[in-house]
Structure 1
């Protein structure tokens, strides 16, 4: 009988989540609480399900997305609307990066 390990349990869960998300035709992050990001041109960006602000200035806004950090770079960046789960960033957006 094969012995189960914690890593194999996590792989099994990830595979099941991938199967379910594919069957429902939705991104797997939607099932695991990942952040949803919407960019409107280069002037507005919304982030749903963020976990908090890590850095905020005119040129860079860093938000925690749980297991990823969302880095928005630009000029005259502003947090127009901010709630515990939702952030709306305006300004001249020149780049978005994701770091672990």
Structure 2
């Protein structure tokens, strides 16, 4: 079937019998977020542990604490971003520091 015959067929087909797939699909990032949480995080944790151990063996403790601390901050940020209930809990805790209670 050539391109011109396909265009002619589509132009002569009544509108009710054409199914447009792009309108019937729902796009979400839930699968990607779950895959990153299941696979990438543990690999990153293993790499961070190796860097920290190598730095500790060489006696470079300032870099060990810097890399370890920044890594923990990054992982904490990712875990808060991937869990809606955790983000809500942290927000309520921060508001509680100022005396604001959210029900």
Give the TM-score taking structure 2 as reference length. 0.23
Higher relative contact order (CA 8 A, sep 6+): 1
Give the TM-score taking structure 1 as reference length. 0.24
The structure where helix makes up a greater share of residues is 2
